[in-house]
Amino acid sequence: MTTEESDAARVPRTGRRPGQSGARDAILAAARQRFARGGFDKTSIRAVAADAAVDPALVHHYFGTKQQLFAAVVELPVDPEIVLRQIDAAPVDRLGEAMVAAVVGLWDSPAGAGAIALVRSIVAGGDTTLARDFLLSVILERVRQRIATDGDDGRLRVALAASQMAGLVLTRKILNLQPVAELPLPDVVAIVGPAVQRYLTGDIGQGPRSGDEP
């Protein structure tokens, strides 16, 4: 090795971070800021990588997809794709039952403890911005696209369905309201599923919007 080569070898490299453990924390910090500023849709893996001074491939290596990166930022204890695949597999007229079965099934599983901790922190005054954007942009958006029609974009419907699910989870897992808390999952699906389905595809009694012709 020449003297020049030896000197060059001793000079620290600049630019992209290598894939050390610190890079993962830098990616999470950059993603948290990006998602908070621009939301899910306007944030890209490439932009997060640039902010964290790493290669985009390293973001994919640690977190997979943008959806999985967002789940890590909001500290969701399970890959949301697991839940979404169950809902995607259901026909439109059974979406209510599928949503209840998938969501309550997750909360009843071993991963549910982490989800409960997340909700408790939000209820206690944590930042709701990222959680809300994740719910609307990731979890509910795929359902909304399936139920949307020319005269109804489905946004109110999925919001109402989410409110029903949130109330169910709160009473079942946070407040431990009996006998709801002890109902077996099939009973919960049979009782609550039709109500969620009505919000999604049934008559919700929505009157004319402001500005609409009478």
Helices (H), ranges, the chain: 3-10, 21-38, 45-52, 56-63, 66-73, 80-88, 95-108, 112-123, 129-134, 141-147, 155-169, 185-201
Return d(Cα 131, Cα 136) in angstroms, integer. 9
C-beta neighbour count of 55 within 10 angstroms: 18
pLDDT of residue 203: 94
pLDDT of residue 16: 46
pLDDT of residue 126: 56
Where residue 76 falls (left for φ over 0; alpha for ψ -120 to 50; beta otherwise) is beta
pLDDT of residue 123: 60
Write down the CATH number for the domain with range 80-201. Answer: 1.10.357.10
Contact status, residue 63 vs residue 72, Cβ threshold 8 Å: yes
Contact status, residue 196 vs residue 100, Cβ threshold 8 Å: yes
CATH topology classification for 10-73:
Arc Repressor Mutant, subunit A (1.10.10)
Q: What does the pLDDT profile of the chain (214 residues) look like in tens digits?
A: 544 444 434 433 334 444 456 898 999 899 888 887 877 778 899 999 999 999 999 999 999 888 888 878 877 766 777 788 889 999 999 999 999 998 888 777 776 666 666 666 666 655 566 666 667 777 788 899 999 999 899 999 999 999 998 889 889 888 889 999 999 999 999 999 999 999 999 999 864 444 444 4
Q: What ranges do the domains of the chain cover?
A: 10-73, 80-201
Tokens coding 106: 């997750």
